[in-house]
Amino acid sequence: MKKRIAIFISGRGSNMDAILRQTRDGILRDACELVLVFSNNPEAKGLETAKNAGVPTECIASKGKKRENFDKEVINFLEPFKIDYIILAGYMRLLSPLFIRTYQKRIINIHPADTRAFQGVGAYDWAYKNKLQKTYATVHYVDEGMDTGDIIEQRELDISGMTTLEEIEKAGLALEHKMFSEVLKKLFENEQ
């Protein structure tokens, strides 16, 4: 059975777009169905991308709402869709314990660093400023902390020859776009 996934975004949505393409006619075609793209931010660029691709979208603005109240709204909204996995792709909001419990071990995030070394936003900038020779992309389960959940897979990125933040970001995103779908495919297939 194909897994039913919802992708959560807050901004650009390039990882969402990469997964969307792989579900349409790529490596995720037989592994999952992209049921919905959700955003907490009405301005998220990725919402347009998803709409243009014909994927159902929903936005519930989180601004000014208490974490648990907002998450309850989202849980209620999602319920009828019978979502198997929530994929966070640049979702810039910490999830409440209630949400984590509702989708226990079924929420997956991608983080552009080794989550044991750096958590939160600005990971490429951190790698750049610290003149790292290599950095990582991490796909992990989401728990109540910020980028603290169990690691599913990490891939290394050699940034030793790179001199600008833009270069690092470009190479990092290319790795993320490839890696995220590949890891999801393995995960979903192992669960059949």
**Which residues are part of the catalytic machinery?**
111
DSSP state of 157: E
Task: Specify the stretch interacting with ligand GRF by CB under 6 A; choose among 94-102, 104-112, 128-136, 158-166.
Answer: 104-112
The dihedral region occupied by 120, where left means phi > 0, alpha psi between -120 and 50, and beta the remainder, is left
112 binds ligand GRF (CB under 6 A): yes
d(CA 83, CA 106): 9
Q: Which of 3, 7, 8, 15 binds ligand GRF (CB under 6 A)?
A: 15
Q: Which of 2, 4, 14, 152 binds ligand GRF (CB under 6 A)?
A: 14
90 binds ligand GRF (CB under 6 A): yes
d(CA 66, CA 64): 7
Q: Which two tokens stand for residue 192?
A: 């059949």
119 binds ligand GRF (CB under 6 A): no
Task: Specify the stretch interacting with ligand GRF by CB under 6 A; choose among 7-15, 26-34, 57-65, 71-79.
Answer: 7-15
Task: Specify the stretch interacting with ligand GRF by CB under 6 A; choose among 8-16, 33-41, 98-106, 156-164.
Answer: 8-16
d(CA 149, CA 115): 9
User: Can you list the pairs that 55-59 forms with residues at least 24 positions away whose Cβ atoms lie under 8 Å?
Assistant: 55/20
Q: Which two tokens stand for residue 93?
A: 């909001």
Q: Which of 19, 35, 89, 107 binds ligand GRF (CB under 6 A)?
A: 89
- Decide if 102 contacts 75 (C-beta within 8 A): yes
Q: Which of 3, 7, 8, 13 binds ligand GRF (CB under 6 A)?
A: 13
Name the residue nearer to ligand GRF (CB basis): 27 or 173: 173
DSSP state of 177: H
Q: Which of 110, 127, 139, 157 binds ligand GRF (CB under 6 A)?
A: 110
Span 124-183, contacts to ligand GRF by CB under 6 A: 176
Neighbour tally for 2: CB within 10 Å: 14
Q: Which residues make up the interface to ligand GRF (CB under 6 A)?
A: 9, 11-16, 89-90, 110-112, 176
